[in-house]
């Protein structure tokens, strides 16, 4: 089965919703593909304990009201099925989507770095903790430690406290001088200054990072290095995240140019591949404000509304400046490269340890000597870790781009009905 779209958007987070709504007045056939049950992405993730902001509710309502926008939730991109066509799968079927133009709004994922004990039950990502809480996992009364880097630590702590958890420590690896410089610049973005004041927590410590998660069958305590001193804190849960990585797998597979760790775009949010655009955190982390603006620019550009796109450039520049400041202030300390021991797992899917791949020259060499990156996540977790640990380039994605049923993959061998 095939479906045809004038404009196909991958991702229904802030950037994807903004892109669809910007393009909707054209009357074109617009499809929005997202692997979550409801639109909103990770930042506006729904759940039994989620509290969606008003802006998220407005975007969701506008998306539902647009007659020429079709939303495909709980739908995954499995593979590239041919020129300007993707193989998609949901829980019931697989089909090909043909498109004239494509906007990638594939977002970002947490950077998780390996350290002794990081695979113990009770250890999650900082964003993962938020997702669990929104999904209804009870944490009331639990003693938590949150560690890593970036504003997500404070947001995760706030979610945990609202759910009744006791946050014992927020360990931020950035030094005090970097945080002070960041704070002095926040008045340029009043909403971010207010947000920082609201999220401030007395348990926050700079120049602090996790050394090990301790326990036998599950987490029992966390060992931290805090201002040069060793600290051990008994706790039931550790949430640890070292920033975000752009999701570039689909862009790479399509042939879009990658700059650094993100999909490269021009002033119109256009990729190096003709009729392909990208917006939001797959082009670099900047928060929901920047994602919304970039998504709208991409949507306007895709339908030829250049004047409307250009009118948004000053807003993009304003929020890009915030993103740049954020990146400089929370740059990871090279000492974090030394967290893993020889027997620490780097690839959790295939149980590959740090010692097995530390001497490898890159991904190909690592795969020749182990199964690193060959598990269910297709290198999404260990790929980011090895980029930081060994400076390996981003692994080249191979189909399937997400776990898929055999009958879905068989469609790749079938002739294109539209051909």
Structure confidence by residue, pLDDT tens digits, 164-194: 999 999 999 999 999 999 999 999 999 999 9
Of 317, 324, 247, 244, whose CA–CA distance to 278 is shortest? 247
Q: pLDDT at position 223, please?
A: 98
- A 10 A CB-CB count for 71 gives 21
Q: What is the rounded end-to-end Cα distance, in angstroms, of the chain?
A: 13
Q: pLDDT at position 167, please?
A: 97
- A 10 A CB-CB count for 396 gives 11
**CA diameter of the chain:** 66
Q: pLDDT at position 377, please?
A: 80
Q: pLDDT at position 292, please?
A: 97
In Å, how far are 112, 123, 253, 284 from 108, measured between CA atoms? 12, 20, 16, 8
Q: pLDDT at position 29, please?
A: 98
Q: pLDDT at position 419, please?
A: 45
- A 10 A CB-CB count for 332 gives 18
Q: pLDDT at position 47, please?
A: 63
**In the block, residue with structure tokens 């009729």:** 275
Q: pLDDT at position 49, please?
A: 61
pLDDT in tens, 307-359: 999 999 999 999 999 999 999 999 999 999 999 999 999 999 999 999 999 99
Q: What's the token pair of residue 407?
A: 């009958």
Q: pLDDT at position 373, please?
A: 85
8 Å CB contact between 272 and 184: no
Q: pLDDT at position 20, please?
A: 98
Q: What is the mean pLDDT of each run of 10 residues along the chain (419 residues)?
A: 94 97 98 92 72 87 96 96 96 96 96 96 95 91 97 94 96 97 95 91 96 97 96 97 94 95 97 98 94 98 98 98 95 95 95 95 89 83 92 84 91 70
Q: pLDDT at position 12, please?
A: 95
């Amino acid at each position: 089965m095939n479906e045809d779209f004038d404009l196909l958007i991958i991702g229904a987070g802030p950037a994807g919703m903004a892109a669809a709504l910007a393009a909707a007045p054209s009357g074109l056939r617009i499809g929005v593909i997202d692997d979550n049950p409801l639109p909103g992405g990770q930042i506006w993730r729904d759940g039994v304990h989620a509290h969606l902001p008003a802006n998220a509710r407005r975007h969701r309502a506008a998306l539902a009201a647009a007659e020429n926008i079709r939303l495909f939730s709980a739908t995954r991109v499995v593979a590239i099925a041919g020129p300007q066509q993707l193989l998609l799968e949901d829980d019931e079927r697989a089909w090909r989507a043909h498109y004239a133009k494509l906007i990638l709004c594939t977002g970002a994922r947490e950077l998780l770095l390996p350290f002794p004990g990081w695979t113990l039950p009770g250890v999650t990502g900082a964003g993962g903790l938020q997702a669990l809480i929104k999904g209804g996992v009870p944490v009331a009364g639990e003693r938590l430690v949150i560690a890593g880097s970036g504003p997500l630590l404070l947001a995760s702590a706030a979610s945990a406290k609202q759910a009744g958890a006791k946050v014992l420590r927020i360990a931020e690896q950035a030094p005090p001088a970097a945080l002070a410089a960041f704070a002095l610049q926040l008045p340029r973005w009043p909403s971010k200054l207010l947000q920082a004041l609201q999220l401030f927590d007395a348990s926050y410590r700079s120049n602090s990072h996790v050394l090990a998660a301790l326990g036998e069958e599950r987490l029992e305590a966390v060992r931290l290095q805090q201002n040069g001193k060793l600290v051990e804190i008994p706790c039931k849960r550790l949430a640890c995240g070292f920033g975000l990585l752009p999701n570039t797998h689909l862009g790479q597979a399509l042939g879009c140019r990658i700059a650094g760790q993100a999909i490269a775009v021009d002033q119109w949010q256009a990729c190096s591949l003709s009729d392909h655009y990208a917006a939001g955190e797959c082009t670099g982390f900047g928060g929901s404000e920047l994602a919304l603006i970039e998504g709208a620019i991409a949507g306007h550009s895709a339908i030829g509304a250049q004047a409307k796109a250009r009118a948004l450039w000053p807003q993009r520049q304003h929020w890009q400046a915030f993103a740049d400041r954020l990146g400089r202030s929370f740059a990871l300390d090279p000492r974090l490269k030394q967290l893993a021991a020889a027997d620490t797992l780097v690839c959790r899917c295939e149980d590959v340890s740090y010692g097995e791949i530390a001497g490898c020259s890159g991904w190909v060499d690592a795969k020749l000597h182990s199964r690193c990156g060959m598990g269910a996540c297709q290198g999404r977790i260990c790929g980011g870790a090895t980029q930081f640990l060994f400076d390996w380039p981003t692994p080249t994605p191979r189909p399937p781009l997400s776990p898929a049923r055999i009958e879905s993959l068989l469609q790749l061998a079938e002739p294109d009905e539209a051909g």
